[in-house]
Amino acid sequence: MEFKVKVYRFNPEFDDKPYYKDYVLEDFPGMTVLNALISIKSEIDGTLSFRRSCRSAICGSCAMKINGISKLACKTQVGPEIEKFGIIKIDPLSNMPIIRDLVVEQEGFFDKIKEIQPYLMGKSNVGEHADDFHALKEGEKITQPVFFKSEFRNLTGNNDTPNCILCECCYSECGGVTGNKDYLGPAALAKLYRYSEDPRDNDKNGTRLVNGSKPNRMWDCVHCQACEEFCPKGISPVKSIVKLHEKAIKNSINFSNGAKHIISIAKSIGETGGLDEIKVALDTGGITGLISDLPMAFGAGLKGKIPPIRLKLIKDMEDIRLAYKILDLEEK
Amino acid sequence: MLRHDVVIVGAGLAGLRTCVELRKKGIDAIIVSKVYPTRSHSGAAQGGVNAAFDENDSWESHFFDTVKGSDYLGDQDAIEILTSEASANILELQKMGVVFNRNAAGGIAQRPFGGQSFPRSCYYADAVGHMMLHGLFDNVLKYNTKILYEYFVTSLVVDDGKVSGIVAYDIKNGRFEGISAKAVLFATGGYGQVYSSNTNALINTGDGMAVSIKAGIPLMDMEFVQFHPTTLKSTGILVTEGARGEGAYLLNSLGVRFMSKYAPKTMELAPRDLVARAEQTEINEGRGVDGAILLDVRHLGKERIMEKLPQIMQLSIDFEGVNPIYEPIPIRPGAHYSMGGIKTDNNCRTIIRGFYSAGESACVSVHGANRLGGNSLLDTVVFGRRAGIDIAEYIKGAVYGKFDESILKRDEEIFENLKESSGKERHGLLKAELQEEMRADVGVFREEIAMKKAIEKIEGLKERAKNIGIDDKSKTFNTDIVEAFEFNNILLMAEVIARGAVSRKESRGAHYRTDFPERDDTNWLKHTLATLDDKGNIKFDFSNVSISKFEPKPRTY
């Protein structure tokens, strides 16, 4: 069967603006989008540039937008795409500058990975033998530090964050990054969570969570779930981010507006069952925050959306109190 | 011109491990890699990394298994280092943040692997390479390492027997960079792309080895190419030996576990050379299933498959259309690993002072004629670490050598001429021809007449390669020209392999000659050393194998 591939092309040396170029190929059973790109490049048009390496969905090189969705070209089959869309339309990943054709600038993404301090911190508690490196002598045995499976929960499951291949699909689909280029994005934050969960980590002062609570980090997630939806490895960065939020609040790291916001919402609902928006705005951003929110509030007011000045207790307040009790939220 | 004390080329496990060793001492070491480090092929390693931890196991047993697995071609002094330092290296990785699955006693869980007399392969599900690669990369970030992303190495600069730097092509900006250095390490990986059916990444084109032999450094034992017994039939994608370690069966078209015929004691867990040949024999004798063998894990049950082999399950579904919980996986042997490489000593030094190599690009030799599964990851960290320690000492007394800039100009010219060429040959198609020829005639089974045909084909391709045309005239991320360069590298590797294979008139490990089916210790218990003469012709010398503890014996499993 013949099918059409429509590829985004742009070379800043020669082109004023991007354009699409069409190629016609013959498919074969099991043909992947990467197979298609490789045959275009080797047989038809050597000027098409894209990254690729392992072709088995573990290196993360060939992430690109296929019919509008960020995917790995190597594990996306041509057949089902054609069935659904009638064409293979390929674009570079979003949220990153384009170098050329399907090749995007990744250095910024990796700089953000570095920002979250992706390594064990503090004096490592991996046992007395860890510093004692030597080749074994004849008949000598080594003893190893003991860590039980339960201590590595959240790190050894199939869908846990250590399986992330840094392919940038989540980053490309992330609404938070689209709105704020400085936001670290899902992959970096999931990695932050991964190290914060590591039983060998000895970050006694909570440096990692404090840093992670600064602007453009964990509290900038907009919870759109796109990272989970589009991860080719079945990982959910947003779940990790939510757990980071919980960890930060549990550890009383609540200097950030995000943490204050959540605490205030929880308090408001716990007290009245409703959302006291003015109070929440005041708790989150203080007076200056409240003032800076005024234009928006005024705009909302013009559309008839005026929050009540005083909230009435809702009639099912007992249920809420019960829920808070179960969730152990009364104190906080 | 850049200047750094140490330049590490390649950012897979060996390169990153060396880098961590140097950076934690505060040494000015940088990484130069043609891909982003996490794209390196180490990440595709699935099954395990070997070390004796169990009280009933011993490193001496691992030592012997590796010597026997190598068909006695491995250097025993080097293998002693590999196996006696194994457990300490694994614990060090664990300290750096690498996660391994746990056993009930709270130690590192271990699974059986081919050719190992004890279950001693440490793992992280079936993605241990990925875990180690990302763990080491994170440590490289920790020590604030400068990385030249997407720079492709084209030359080693040598001054009077001493390294003085490298020349590399900046792919993003289309310009050459000279980097002056006191020490250079190549951890550039293997050359799996020489073969059509292979488990390797498309980037594994033997670049570092090609650059080295051109700079006068011998490549050792290049005729020994490992064919992995279980690669997906349609794509050659790896299916871990860990599957057999967990208990998978190999079945022929009659539904028979045929390994009982070839390795009655170890069955599916015989070493890779033996299993690959057994499979190919079954296929050749008409007991294959559409040119493949079946790998059956169904009896392990859904839960165990999903816990221990999740990646294999997903790869089989995505790339072969088969769910291994319900159906056996069609597999066949595929080119997997380069036992040969840049000749080094036990501290990763080469004959050029200050020039080092580690990992798959190097040949110490710890794998000899056949590598055992789980020993390559171990090789990368043990020798990556040793390289780091030795380089740190070496540079203390070293000074920057004279950097011959004419080499940079020469490389620029080669690229420029190639780019402007309007020849009619397409490197992508030439590559496919080469790969198919090597698979057919210098593969699992080898024989003189067929291999000479392959050499003729290679000679023809060398001529045609002069006529390669490049579509892409751009300076920005020009992968057309990089691929043309890579093609020339695999073409050179193919020639070294094929000529070495013709010259070695015996069968040993992965090198099996149907016309010389026996191992010949009298004449061939020696390493092959390939170099280029003035005219670029390959010539061979030989060197002795280090035998310290175990005299060669017949190898049965």
The CATH number linked to A157 is 1.10.1060.10
Note the pLDDT of residue A125. Answer: 58
Whether residue A187 lies within 8 A of chain B, CB to CB, comes out as: no
Number of domains comprising chain A: 3
Whether residue A100 lies within 8 A of chain B, CB to CB, comes out as: yes
CATH 3.40.30.10 for the B230-334 domain, yes or no: no
Is A321 a member of any domain? yes
What are the pLDDT digits (tens) for A273-304?
Answer: 888 888 898 999 888 888 888 888 889 888 88
A236 shares a domain with A118: yes
Residues of A in contact with B102 (CB under 8 A): 147-149, 152, 156
Determine contact, residues B108/B52, Cβ cutoff 8 Å: no
Note the pLDDT of residue A205. Answer: 81
Which tokens sit at B367? 């794998």
Q: Verify whether the Cβ–Cβ distance A142 to B479 is below 8 Å.
A: no
**Paired sense of beta strands B341-343 and A19-26, if any:** unpaired
B interface mutation test: which of A47, A56, A123 has the most B CBs within 10 A?
Answer: A56
Provide the chain A residues 48-67 that lie in CB contact (below 8 A) with chain B: 49-61
B interface mutation test: which of A35, A58, A168 has the most B CBs within 10 A?
Answer: A58
Note the pLDDT of residue A159. Answer: 86
In the predicted structure, residue A123 carries a pLDDT above the cut 90: no
What are the pLDDT digits (tens) for A216-248?
Answer: 999 999 999 999 999 999 999 999 999 999 999
A221 versus A134: the higher-pLDDT residue is A221
Is A274 a member of any domain? yes
- Residue B271 binned pLDDT confidence (cut-offs 50, 70, 90): very high
Note the pLDDT of residue B338. Answer: 97
- Residue B154 binned pLDDT confidence (cut-offs 50, 70, 90): very high
**Nearest CA of chain A to the CA of B264: how many Å?**
31
Residue with tokens 């894209």: A50
**Paired sense of beta strands B293-296 and B329-338, if any:** antiparallel
Q: What gap in Å lies between CA B382 and CA B217, rounded to an integer?
A: 23
**Nearest CA of chain A to the CA of B218: how many Å?**
28
Residues of B in contact with A164 (CB under 8 A): 134
Q: Is B272 a catalytic residue?
A: yes
* Every domain of chain B and the residues it spans: 230-334, 405-527
Handedness of CA B222, B115, B383, B541 (dihedral sign): negative
What are the pLDDT digits (tens) for B451-479?
Answer: 999 999 999 999 999 999 999 999 999 99
**Nearest CA of chain B to the CA of A180: how many Å?**
24
A169 shares a domain with A94: no
What is the three-class DSSP state of B324?
coil
Whether residue B61 lies within 8 A of chain A, CB to CB, comes out as: no
Which tokens sit at B110? 């271990």
Q: Verify whether the Cβ–Cβ distance B201 to A54 is below 8 Å.
A: yes
CA A25, distance to chain mean position in Å, is 35
A186 shares a domain with A122: yes
Whether residue A98 lies within 8 A of chain B, CB to CB, comes out as: no
Is A207 a member of any domain? yes
In the predicted structure, residue A62 carries a pLDDT above the cut 70: yes
DSSP B507: -
DSSP B348: S
Extended beta strands in B394-550, E state: 526-532, 538-544
Note the pLDDT of residue A129. Answer: 46
Note the pLDDT of residue B229. Answer: 97
Q: What gap in Å lies between CA B358 and CA B391, rounded to an integer?
A: 12
Q: What gap in Å lies between CA B429 and CA B449, rounded to an integer?
A: 25
What is the three-class DSSP state of A72?
strand
Least CB-CB distance to A47: which of B96, B471, B475?
Answer: B471
Is A138 a member of any domain? no
Q: Verify whether the Cβ–Cβ distance A117 to B142 is below 8 Å.
A: yes
A305 versus B193: the higher-pLDDT residue is B193
- Residue A127 binned pLDDT confidence (cut-offs 50, 70, 90): low
Is A132 a member of any domain? no
Is A189 a member of any domain? yes
Is A331 a member of any domain? no
In terms of residue numbers, what domain contains A79? Answer: 2-104
Q: What percent of chain B has pLDDT over 90?
A: 99
Q: Verify whether the Cβ–Cβ distance A165 to B38 is below 8 Å.
A: yes
Q: What gap in Å lies between CA B45 and CA A31, rounded to an integer?
A: 24
The enclosing H or E element of B494 equals helix B479-503
Burial class (CB within 10 angstroms; exposed 0-12, middle 13-18, buried 19+) of B553:
exposed
Average confidence (pLDDT) over B446-455: 98
The chain B residue lying nearest A63, using CA atoms, is B39
Give the residue from B473, B459, B500 showing the smallest Cα distance to B417: B473
CATH architecture for segment(s) B405-527: Up-down Bundle (1.20)
Does residue B365 have a cis peptide bond before it, meaning omega lies within 30 degrees of 0? yes
Least CB-CB distance to B477: which of A99, A141, A164?
Answer: A99
Q: Verify whether the Cβ–Cβ distance A138 to B60 is below 8 Å.
A: yes
Q: What percent of chain B has pLDDT over 70?
A: 100
Q: Which of A232, A250, A268 is the last residue of a domain?
A: A250
Active-site choice (B23, B111, B272, B349): B272
In the predicted structure, residue A215 carries a pLDDT above the cut 70: yes
- Residue B416 binned pLDDT confidence (cut-offs 50, 70, 90): very high
Average confidence (pLDDT) over A175-198: 96
Q: Which of A250, A271, A303 is the last residue of a domain?
A: A250
A202 shares a domain with A238: yes
Q: Verify whether the Cβ–Cβ distance B92 to A75 is below 8 Å.
A: no
Give the residue from B204, B170, B176 showing the smallest Cα distance to B190: B204
Least CB-CB distance to A59: which of B39, B107, B477?
Answer: B39
A304 shares a domain with A169: no
A116 shares a domain with A203: yes
pTM confidence score: 0.96
A100 shares a domain with A114: no
- Residue A128 binned pLDDT confidence (cut-offs 50, 70, 90): very low
Whether residue B318 lies within 8 A of chain A, CB to CB, comes out as: yes
Whether residue A317 lies within 8 A of chain B, CB to CB, comes out as: no
B interface mutation test: which of A144, A191, A196 has the most B CBs within 10 A?
Answer: A144
Provide the chain B residues 401-460 that lie in CB contact (below 8 A) with chain A: 426-429, 431-432
Give the residue from A60, A233, A228, A230 showing the smallest Cα distance to A158: A233
A214 shares a domain with A227: yes
Q: What gap in Å lies between CA B260 and CA B245, rounded to an integer?
A: 16
- Residue A59 sits at φ, ψ, to 5 deg, of -95, -25
Q: Which of A201, A221, A250 is the last residue of a domain?
A: A250
Residues of B in contact with A57 (CB under 8 A): 314-315, 318
In the predicted structure, residue B334 carries a pLDDT above the cut 70: yes
- Residue A331 binned pLDDT confidence (cut-offs 50, 70, 90): low
**Nearest CA of chain B to the CA of A184: how many Å?**
16
| Number of other CB atoms surrounding residue A287 within 10 Å | 8
Q: Per DSSP, what are the bridge partners of residue A24?
A: A4
How does the average pLDDT of chain B come out, rounded?
A: 97
Which tokens sit at A224? 């759109």
Provide the chain A residues 126-155 that lie in CB contact (below 8 A) with chain B: 126, 129-130, 132-142, 144-149, 152, 155
In the predicted structure, residue A134 carries a pLDDT above the cut 60: yes
In the predicted structure, residue A126 carries a pLDDT above the cut 80: no
Q: What gap in Å lies between CA B450 and CA B371, rounded to an integer?
A: 25
Same fold yes or no, B230-334 and B405-527 = no
Contacts of B255 (CB under 8 A, 6+ apart): none
Whether residue B40 lies within 8 A of chain A, CB to CB, comes out as: yes
Residue A81 is part of a domain; what is its CATH number? Answer: 3.10.20.30
Give the residue from B319, B214, B281 showing the smallest Cα distance to B533: B214
A280 shares a domain with A244: no
- Residue A326 binned pLDDT confidence (cut-offs 50, 70, 90): confident
Residue with tokens 């990986």: B189
What are the pLDDT digits (tens) for B298-316?
Answer: 999 999 999 999 999 999 9
Note the pLDDT of residue A124. Answer: 63
Extended beta strands in B188-283, E state: 219-220, 225-232, 249-251
Q: Verify whether the Cβ–Cβ distance A100 to B39 is below 8 Å.
A: no
Is A164 a member of any domain? yes
Least CB-CB distance to B44: which of A41, A58, A103?
Answer: A58
